[in-house]
């Protein structure tokens, strides 16, 4: 089919779909306009398996693991930027980039984590501007480092280890603040540490007291919230920290509440049947804002590429139906090294956007009226009806409107990029 026929077919299908949704009281044009204002923060680390550019060693320690050896991973910051640019060009809307400290550019000089400066991210900031990204977010990298080899960082019983990582956290906040100031949108700067133990400890309390102290020192410098938002990320367990994780959910929920920080909820960091969707309207009763790390755990916190699963739909429904979008920073956190990495970004991000679109296309007012009237039969019937409304036509129209490939067409572009660029990285 010629491109113009293709576009015509999408427009025609959209016209019909628009009528169907209108019958349910939903204005698809205004939904698409609102959808285009939602920025997702793409995690840079899908592009190189969380390796960073400090050394050739790549990911080590920290209890997180990228598995697979698909060819073509980014080896330099320039390669990573090229891959990201390709991914952004295939994703509808204007989005953000989430960086980690290990992606610093130090012009060949060895700069340890405690000495990182905003200058080491100048090229990323310039590039974000060139690409008209919606903003940058940032993370301290408290893993893949000799000073994290004991399994403890901010909660270590060794004062010199804690001091080093506190200094890293302080450096990262300054970097985040610079990003936020330069781009005119607050940089969410996240702290996740791997601290924990393989086997049952006899002192759980000591490390938690130390973590609270270290965090207080790390956050002691007051920086403008127009430039920087701090978040803290909990975890249930990791490889090598199966029995005890210092920064548990309760720890950080309490810390975020008491200290006015953002809580980061990673969808892989809870028991497998525990849904993060249900937590949103609970924690947002008491917290101003949260950060999400949207991931897909398969049997464990495996960080698979996000797909359009029931869990993802539930997450989007809670954000949209609860009116919480202005208070939620949506970040992605997955890393699959067994498939084309650009495709992984594109699939995961497009699925996140699809889930938001689906939630926005639902006649929530009508559902709520039924629920409030005790009409649970009607609620169930309508919820199921919504699943087979012509969503794909609206999605394709959105892609067309945003000037990115509709349907599967994006994959051809990724395949061409693989042939021309990725396959040559040997
Ligand atoms: C680890 C956390 C953390 C990392 C990234 C690289 O379990 O989810 O967010 O995945 O920061
Ligand atoms: Zn995470």
User: Ligand 1: which of 266, 269, 276, 335 to mutate, most ligand atoms within 8 Å of CB?
Assistant: 266
Contact 179, 226 (CB under 8 A): no
- Specify the pLDDT at position 39: 98
Contact 58, 102 (CB under 8 A): no
The whole-number average pLDDT for the span 53-74 is: 86
Catalytic residue ranges: 192, 233, 235, 266, 269, 293, 301, 303, 333
- Specify the pLDDT at position 132: 98
Share of the chain above pLDDT 90, in %: 96
Closest CA relative to residue 45, chosen from 127, 131, 123, 143: 143
- Specify the pLDDT at position 114: 98
- DSSP reduced 3-state for 97: strand
284-314 pLDDT, tens digit each: 999 999 999 999 999 999 999 999 999 999 9
378-406 pLDDT, tens digit each: 999 999 999 999 999 999 999 999 999 99
183-229 pLDDT, tens digit each: 999 999 999 999 999 999 999 999 999 999 999 999 999 999 999 99
Q: First vs last Cα of the chain: how many Å apart?
A: 36
Q: Is the C-beta atom of 266 inside 6 A of ligand 1?
A: yes
pLDDT of residue 92 exceeding 80: yes
Residue 10 to residue 21: CA distance in whole angstroms: 16
| Plot region of 230 (φ>0 → left; ψ -120 to 50 → alpha; else → beta) | beta
Structure tokens at 315: 């997450």
Report the greatest alpha carbon distance in the chain.
69
- Specify the pLDDT at position 59: 73
The whole-number average pLDDT for the span 79-106 is: 98
What is the torsion angle, in degrees rounded to the nearest 10, for the CA atoms of residue 206, residue 212, residue 215 and residue 216? -130
Q: Is the C-beta atom of 195 inside 6 A of ligand 1?
A: no
Closest residue by Cα to atom 6, ligand 1, is 50
Q: Write b or e for each residue in 386-424: b if 16 or more Cβ atoms lie within 10 A of its Cβ, otherwise e.
A: beebbbebbbbbbbbbbebbbeeebeebbeebbeeebee
Q: Is the C-beta atom of 137 inside 6 A of ligand 1?
A: no
Closest residue by Cα to atom 1, ligand 1, is 64
How long a stretch of residues is the chain? 426
- DSSP reduced 3-state for 156: coil
- Specify the pLDDT at position 214: 99
Residue 122 to residue 110: CA distance in whole angstroms: 17
User: Ligand 1: which of 333, 335, 336 to mutate, most ligand atoms within 8 Å of CB?
Assistant: 333
Task: Provide the β-strand partners of residue 232.
Answer: 191, 263
pLDDT of residue 2 exceeding 80: no
- Give the number of the atom of ligand 1 that is nearest the alpha carbon of residue 335: 10
pLDDT of residue 426 exceeding 90: no
Contact 102, 61 (CB under 8 A): no
User: What's the pTM value of the predicted model, to 2 decimals?
Assistant: 0.98
Q: Is the C-beta atom of 192 inside 6 A of ligand 1?
A: yes
Q: Is the C-beta atom of 102 inside 6 A of ligand 1?
A: no
Contact 246, 212 (CB under 8 A): no
Task: Provide the β-strand partners of residue 58.
Answer: none
In Å, what is the CA distance from 292 to each residue of 110, 114, 182, 251, 354? 32, 26, 24, 17, 17
Closest residue by Cα to atom 10, ligand 1, is 333
Q: Is the C-beta atom of 333 inside 6 A of ligand 1?
A: yes
Gap from CA of 255 to ligand 2 centroid (Å): 17
- Give the number of the atom of ligand 1 that is nearest the alpha carbon of residue 264: 9
- Give the number of the atom of ligand 1 that is nearest the alpha carbon of residue 301: 7
Q: Is the C-beta atom of 235 inside 6 A of ligand 1?
A: yes
Closest residue by Cα to atom 9, ligand 1, is 192
Closest CA relative to residue 173, chosen from 195, 153, 190, 155: 190
Contact 293, 332 (CB under 8 A): yes
Contact 18, 29 (CB under 8 A): yes
Gap from CA of 333 to ligand 1 centroid (Å): 7
Gap from CA of 261 to ligand 2 centroid (Å): 16
| Residue 64: pLDDT band with limits 50, 70, 90 | confident
Ligand nearest to the CA of 301: 1
Q: Is the C-beta atom of 345 inside 6 A of ligand 1?
A: no
pLDDT of residue 5 exceeding 90: no
| Residue 4: pLDDT band with limits 50, 70, 90 | confident
Contact 66, 43 (CB under 8 A): no
User: Ligand 1: which of 233, 265, 306, 329 to mutate, most ligand atoms within 8 Å of CB?
Assistant: 233
Q: Is the C-beta atom of 395 inside 6 A of ligand 1?
A: no
Q: Any alpha helices (H) in 60-158, and if so which ranges?
A: 77-88, 122-130
The whole-number average pLDDT for the span 339-355 is: 99
pLDDT of residue 65 exceeding 90: no
User: Ligand 1: which of 151, 192, 267, 300 to mutate, most ligand atoms within 8 Å of CB?
Assistant: 192
- Specify the pLDDT at position 424: 97
- Phi/psi of residue 313, each to 5°? -60, -40
Residue 228 to residue 135: CA distance in whole angstroms: 12
Annotate 258-273 with DSSP letters as a single string: HHT-EEEEETTSS-TT
- DSSP reduced 3-state for 75: coil
Residue 152 to residue 148: CA distance in whole angstroms: 6
Contact 346, 413 (CB under 8 A): no
- Phi/psi of residue 352, each to 5°? -60, -45
Q: Give the domains, in start order, of the chain with CATH numbers.
A: 1-35+364-426 (no CATH), 40-361 (3.20.20.150)
Q: Is the C-beta atom of 64 inside 6 A of ligand 1?
A: yes
pLDDT of residue 1 exceeding 70: no
- Phi/psi of residue 139, each to 5°? -140, 135
Closest CA relative to residue 162, chosen from 154, 172, 170: 154
Strands, E assignment, 50-133: 96-100
pLDDT of residue 75 exceeding 90: yes
Residue 410 to residue 391: CA distance in whole angstroms: 19
Ligand nearest to the CA of 138: 1
Q: Any alpha helices (H) in 219-340, and if so which ranges?
A: 249-259, 277-283, 310-321
């Amino acid at each position: 089919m010629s491109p113009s026929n293709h576009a015509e077919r999408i427009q025609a299908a959209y016209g019909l779909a628009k009528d169907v949704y209108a019958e349910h009281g939903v204005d698809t044009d205004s939904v698409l306009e609102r959808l285009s204002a939602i920025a997702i923060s793409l995690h840079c680390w899908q592009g190189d398996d969380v390796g960073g550019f400090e050394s050739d060693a790549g990911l080590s320690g920290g209890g997180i693991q990228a598995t697979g050896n698909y060819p073509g991973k980014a080896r330099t910051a320039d390669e990573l930027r090229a891959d990201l640019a390709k991914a952004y060009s295939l994703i509808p809307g204007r989005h953000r980039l989430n960086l980690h400290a290990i992606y610093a550019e130090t012009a060949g000089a060895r700069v340890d984590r405690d000495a990182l400066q905003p200058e080491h991210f100048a090229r990323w900031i310039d590039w974000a501007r060139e690409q008209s990204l919606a903003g940058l977010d940032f993370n301290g990298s408290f893993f893949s480092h000799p000073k994290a080899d004991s399994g403890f960082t901010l909660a270590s019983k060794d004062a010199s280890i804690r001091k080093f990582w506190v200094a890293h956290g302080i450096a990262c906040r300054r970097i985040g603040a610079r990003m936020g100031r330069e781009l005119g949108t607050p940089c969410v700067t996240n702290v996740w540490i791997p601290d924990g133990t393989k086997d049952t400890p006899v002192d759980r309390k000591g490390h938690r007291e130390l973590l609270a102290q270290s965090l207080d020192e790390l956050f002691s410098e007051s920086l403008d919230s127009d430039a920087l938002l701090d978040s803290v990320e909990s975890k249930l367990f990791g490889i090598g920290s199966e029995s005890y994780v210092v920064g548990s959910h309760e720890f950080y929920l309490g810390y975020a509440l008491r200290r006015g920080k953002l809580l980061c909820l990673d969808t892989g960091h809870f028991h497998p049947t525990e849904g993060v969707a249900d937590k949103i309207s609970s924690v947002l009763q008491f917290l101003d804002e949260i950060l999400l790390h949207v991931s897909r755990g398969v049997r464990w916190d495996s960080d698979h590429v996000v797909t359009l699963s029931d869990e993802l739909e539930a997450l989007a429904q809670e954000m949209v139906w609860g009116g919480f979008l202005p208070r939620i920073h949506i970040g992605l956190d997955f890393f699959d090294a067994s498939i084309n990495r650009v495709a992984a970004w594109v699939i995961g991000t497009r699925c996140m956007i699809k889930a938001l679109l689906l939630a926005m296309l639902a006649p929530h007012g009508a559902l709520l009226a039924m629920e409030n009237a005790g009409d649970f039969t009607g609620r169930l019937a309508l919820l199921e009806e919504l699943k087979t409304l012509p969503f794909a036509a609206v999605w394709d129209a959105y892609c067309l409107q945003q000037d990115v490939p509709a349907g599967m067409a994006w994959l051809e572009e990724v395949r061409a990029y693989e042939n021309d660029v990725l396959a040559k990285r040997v």
